[in-house]
Amino acid sequence: MKNELQKIKEEVINKISKIKKEIDINNLEIKYLGRKGELTKILRNLKNLGEEQKKEMGRLGNQIKKEIRKEIERKKEDISGYFSSRDIDVSLPGVKAEIGHLNPLTIVQNELEELFTSMGFMILDGPELESDYYCFEALNIPKNHPARDMQDTFYIDKKNKEGDYDLVMRTHTSPVQVRAMQKYGAPFRGVVPGRAFRNEAVDACHEHSFFQIECLFIDEDISVANLKAVVREMLSKIFEKDVTIRIRPGFFPFVEPGLEVDMSCTICGGRGCPSCKNTGWLEMGGAGMIHPNVLRAGKIDPEKYSGFAFGFGWDRLAMMKFGISDIRLFQSNNLKFLNQF
Ligand code: PHE
């Protein structure tokens, strides 16, 4: 009996090694291990043996059955071409899938949008090719006003019916202020992260196409205190710590009073370094209480409502957050730069 079992085992293993087709291995499985299979038959006949022998042969038979089954499975895997566990070396280091990286500007944008949405602000968008009206006139900057020279505007070389050049690349995100007021009325809370354009000489701190985030908050009894609170909240969120801000008087025709907001330099901690030109402070942007003329242009009653607005350099925020020293890197498409974020 023992011999018979060993013989079957050798026979089967030998046969398996020659098999090349799935159907053959299936047939072999049935022939030996099936319900009426040869090995099954032998094992079934064990009941006719004496106690001792039954035990011994039973053990041997089951072991042989297991070995055959293993060989069959192995063959099946070989035929189907799948990787089996024996082909996998779990100790090999994995191959990292290449995934893209977010531009640091996008990282800051996502954080800002999350924060402002959580404070009940809308996220707005506006045209980059803007009319002279929304970019200047509605913001209390009439034609020939000297304040137009504050920003080096790209005018579009196309006259309207009246013979005026009335299209510009927006020089700031502020035109969306009046668009938002006209569309949504008061009370209103919103932010506009967007691109702006100025005819600047490009260097490490200046780009002709740069990014701003405009914030607009209109309600009854809004004051500079609200402005300060929101600015501080925003900067703390981005820099993940309390940030000291400083507010100075500034001039922008669309706000009264107009303010300039500085933030203590995160790179040197306020002691003074090349990034902050040794002053310890960085200019983040303009702000102020919305001028009544601008509220009126937005069809909002300045007697009833007041509001604040600010427009900060969004690329400057990202530069400070990540310690980036050259503004041109953001739009350089340089993978060595982008892969770091
Ligand atoms: N739009 C101004 C600029 O880009 C900044 C600003 C926004 C100032 C809102 C006041 C209020 O220079």
Pocket test for ligand 1, best of 172, 209, 210, 218 (most atoms within 8 A of CB): 172
Taking residue 118's Cβ as centre, other Cβ atoms within 10 Å add up to 9
173 and 300 together in one domain: yes
Number of domains in the chain: 2
**25, 68: one domain:** yes
Average pLDDT over residues 246-262: 95
**Crossing angle between the packed helical segments 2-18 and 22-33, to the nearest 10 degrees:** 170
pLDDT at 111: 95
- Model pTM score: 0.71
Q: What average pLDDT does the segment 195-207 reach?
A: 91
Choosing from 87, 118, 148, the residue where a domain stops is 87
Query: Taking all residues of the chain, what is their mean pLDDT, rounded to a whole number?
Result: 90
In a shared domain, residues 170 and 83: no
Q: Is residue 76 pLDDT above 90, yes or no? A: no
At residue 85 the predicted structure's pLDDT band, cuts being 50, 70 and 90, is: low
> 287 C-alpha to center of ligand 1: Å?
6
Q: Which of 275-279, 282-286, 306-310, 316-320 has the lowest mean pLDDT?
A: 275-279
Measured from CB, residues less than 6 Å from any atom of ligand 1 are: 172, 174, 252, 255, 285-288, 309-311
- In a mutational test of the pocket of ligand 1, which residue from 174, 222, 254 has the highest number of ligand atoms less than 8 Å from its CB? 174
Q: What is the CATH number for 201?
A: 3.30.930.10
Question: Which domain-ending residue is among 36, 55, 87?
Answer: 87
**58 and 135 assigned to the same domain:** no
Nearest CA to ligand 1 atom 4: 172
Indicate if the pLDDT at residue 97 is higher than 90.
no
| pLDDT 10s digits, 296-332 | 999 999 999 999 999 999 999 999 899 888 899 999 9
> Residues near 231 by Cβ (< 8 Å), separated by ≥ 6?
245, 261, 284, 287, 310
Give the structural domain span for 260. Answer: 104-338
Burial per residue of 211-250, b for 16 or more beta-carbon CB atoms within 10 angstroms, e otherwise = bbbbbbbbeeebeeebbbebbbebbebbeeeebeeebeeb
> 137 and 259: one domain?
yes
Contacts of 258 (CB under 8 A, 6+ apart): 249, 250, 251, 252, 286, 287, 288
Residue count of the chain: 341
Distance 124 CA to ligand 1 centre (A): 16
Last residue of a domain, which of 87, 122, 137? 87
Q: Is residue 169 part of a domain?
A: yes
Task: Please name every residue paired with 256 in a beta bridge, in sequence order, or none if there are none.
Answer: none
Same domain, 129 and 216: yes
* 94 within a domain of the structure (yes/no): no
Rounded distance between C-alpha atoms, residue 336 and residue 341, angstroms: 10
The single-letter code of the amino acid at 31 is: K
How far is residue 177's CA from residue 103's CA, in Å, rounded to a whole number?
26
Residue 310 in domain:
yes
Residue 86 has pLDDT above 70, yes or no: no
In a domain, 98, yes or no: no
* pLDDT > 90? residue 256: yes
* Structure confidence at residue 84 (pLDDT): 60
Distance 56 CA to ligand 1 centre (A): 93
Helix (H, G, I), strand (E, B) or coil at 117: helix
pLDDT band at 131 (very low <50, low <70, confident <90, very high): very high
pLDDT at 192: 97
In the chain, DSSP finds a helix count (H) and a strand count (E) of 11, 9
